[in-house]
Structure 1
Amino acid sequence: MNYLRVEFELSEDLHELFIAELMDMDFYGFEQFDDKLVAYIEKQRFNDSNREYLEQLVAAYSGDSIMEFEDIPEQNWNQSWEQTIQPQQIGKFLVKPTWSTERPADDEIVLEIDPKMSFGTGYHTTTRLVLKQIQGMDLKDKVILDAGTGTGILAIAAIKLGARKAIGFDIDSWSRDNAHENSFLNKVNDSFEVRFGGIETIDDHELFDLILANINRNVLIEILPDLVNHLNNDGMICLSGLLHTDEDAIRDRLYEMPVQVSDVEREEEWILMEIQKVAE
């Protein structure tokens, strides 16, 4: 199966917006750099209408342009990722691919993540914000929901911090498969269930102590009421994937819900909002 690689010259603050649009067009692999976004799609799924829509999207943002379209033949994606993914320390976590030989310090928790085509390697600020935030929480025996699980890195990290069970869902079939594979790599597969689909895959009776949602603003605004409904009393939600300019929109959406914003963490232009459910 051949793929199309599309490279955008694009300021970093627009990456999340474009990723959301591209995912709606069946793009499902992304690489992010300071001023460049690279996206992948099966060639058979891309047509002239897609190209025209991309040109319109890019034209709406002055100074940004599509740089290149490139055909990519069938290949070993792990081998391709190996050239770009390197180990990194995020607090007490050492996030590394399986091909890395780096050894953890005695007090570090290893997260082995082979990303393939899925977003969520730990490189992006929004992922790092969540990984840092949950390290300060008592997750022993907690039940976790990872909304838009991607590689599964957040759910896996929560389990390694003591969570009893995690459920992750994602509408991307690559993410579903990759999260499942990464759960086996980290020996948490007995505690981590991956579901294919959106919030509708969570049954009405399922409640969680902590919900992790590293998704773009538009999706978060749409599903926030459902996330709150699936939260135990005194439970927490960590919302990431948000720019600092999104904070007011999220607060407006939370108005009259039985929650309060308990913390806002900031890194560069990105924020994480921690939300706690309160008694109604």
Structure 2
Amino acid sequence: MNYIELQLHVTPDYTDILTAELAELGFESFVETDEGLNAYIIETDFDEKALEELVAKYTNQTAIAYEVNSLEKRNWNAEWEREYEPIEVADSVRVRASFHEPDARFRYDIVINPKMSFGTGHHETTAMMLEQQLDLDFAGKTVLDVGSGTGILAILAAKMGARSVQAFDIEEWAVENAVENAAINDCPQISVFQGTIDDIKDEQGRYDVILANINRNVLLAEIPLYTHLLNEGGYLLVSGFYEHDAPDIQQKAIDAGLWAEKTKSVREWTSIRFKK
């Protein structure tokens, strides 16, 4: 069968939501690019009018353009598997798909089979979050993963000894995928629900570590809530924003009662670890 390749030119803040929207239109595979996002769908399932309506829905929110190409017949799963490479973080974590063999050189082996091909550790923000986690002691700790996606951050926390990990995402497909990946990695201490931070019981000092790899606007709005939910001496790890946004994020955290312990930046993306 032939496939359609959709090349979306859009800012990184919108790749997640557009991936979810395109999945609803029947797109099967997704790859983040420097320009935005590539998405793939069986040619007979492609509805150009539905695509035009989707793009129009977001044109008032962000600059967005697209190109549509027809691809020759191919074994798409085999093609994707050839392109998908394991990710290695700080010589300690290896993130792979189930079709890759494990590598005993790495202390933490994480298997992620994404419904959509992001949240796999390939993006700089995810890799930085994983590296920041390696500096912490998760043994016996309670953890909250905000906007969990594939569940990759929650899984590392569990593998590092966390007693319980609560994860949530607004997207149903992400919740399903995180549950599947937690099971694949034998992490029964992870629980996942569909919702937002407002669905977390308002009980001060519930978590020892909070992980939030989302975007600037959400972080600025919710950092005070995260701080309220943190135990004294607890950690908040954040990413998903550009380096030039770091001062605003840091000031919001300081105003909420946190202090910045470690900052990392890669290709203009930034991650900060705060302590309460």
Same fold, TM exceeding 0.5? yes
3-state DSSP class of the match of 2:21?
Answer: coil
Give the corresponding residue for 2:229. Answer: 230
Is 1:108 aligned to 2:107, yes or no? yes
Deviation string, structure 1 residues 177-235 (Cα, Å, up to 9, x no partner):
000001111001x2000011111221112711011101011122222221111111111
Give the corresponding residue for 2:15. Answer: 19
Give the corresponding residue for 1:203. Answer: 201
Seen in structure 2, the aligned counterparts of structure 1 residues 144 and 70 have a Cα distance that, compared at 3 Å, is farther
Seen in structure 2, the aligned counterparts of structure 1 residues 244 and 87 have a Cα distance that, compared at 3 Å, is same
Seen in structure 2, the aligned counterparts of structure 1 residues 124 and 47 have a Cα distance that, compared at 3 Å, is closer
Q: What CA distance in whole angstroms lies between the structure 2 residues aligned with 1:146 and 1:6?
A: 31
Q: Report if aligned partners of 2:171, 2:194 keep a CA contact under 8 Å in 1.
A: yes
- Summarize the alignment of residues 111-150 of structure 1 with structure 2, pairs less than 5 Å apart: 111-117=110-116, 119-150=118-149
TM-score normalized with structure 1 length: 0.81
- Summarize the alignment of residues 13-162 of structure 1 with structure 2, pairs less than 5 Å apart: 14-15=11-12, 17-19=13-15, 22=18, 26-27=21-22, 30-39=30-39, 46=50, 48-55=52-59, 60=63, 65-68=65-68, 81-91=80-90, 92-101=92-101, 103-117=102-116, 119-162=118-161
3-state DSSP class of the match of 2:157?
Answer: helix
Give the corresponding residue for 1:171. Answer: 170
Unaligned runs of 5+ in 2: 24-28
How far did residue 78 of structure 1 move?
Answer: 6.5
- Summarize the alignment of residues 174-189 of structure 1 with structure 2, pairs less than 5 Å apart: 174-188=173-187
How far did residue 244 of structure 1 move?
Answer: 0.2
How far did residue 27 of structure 1 move?
Answer: 4.3
Q: Report if aligned partners of 1:204, 1:230 keep a CA contact under 8 Å in 2.
A: yes
Q: Report if aligned partners of 1:114, 1:182 keep a CA contact under 8 Å in 2.
A: yes
| 2:54 maps to amino acid | N
Give the corresponding residue for 1:8. Answer: 8
3-state DSSP class of the match of 1:26?
Answer: helix
How far did residue 139 of structure 1 move?
Answer: 1.2
| 2:201 maps to amino acid | D
Q: What CA distance in whole angstroms lies between the structure 2 residues aligned with 1:88 and 1:20?
A: 20
Is 1:218 aligned to 2:179, yes or no? no
3-state DSSP class of the match of 1:256?
Answer: helix
Seen in structure 2, the aligned counterparts of structure 1 residues 130 and 51 have a Cα distance that, compared at 3 Å, is closer
Q: Report if aligned partners of 1:118, 1:178 keep a CA contact under 8 Å in 2.
A: no
Q: Report if aligned partners of 2:119, 2:126 keep a CA contact under 8 Å in 1.
A: yes
Mean Cα displacement is larger for which, 42-51 or 211-220? 42-51
Q: Report if aligned partners of 2:15, 2:36 keep a CA contact under 8 Å in 1.
A: no
TM-score normalized with structure 2 length: 0.82
Give the corresponding residue for 1:261. Answer: 260
Unaligned runs of 5+ in 1: none
Q: Report if aligned partners of 2:94, 2:106 keep a CA contact under 8 Å in 1.
A: no
Give the corresponding residue for 1:241. Answer: 240
Q: What CA distance in whole angstroms lies between the structure 2 residues aligned with 1:220 and 1:36?
A: 22
Q: CA RMSD in A?
A: 3.0
Deviation string, structure 1 residues 86-113 (Cα, Å, up to 9, x no partner):
2121120111100112x31244321011
Seen in structure 2, the aligned counterparts of structure 1 residues 20 and 179 have a Cα distance that, compared at 3 Å, is closer
How far did residue 20 of structure 1 move?
Answer: 5.7
Deviation string, structure 1 residues 103-158 (Cα, Å, up to 9, x no partner):
31244321011012263101110000011111111111111111010110100001
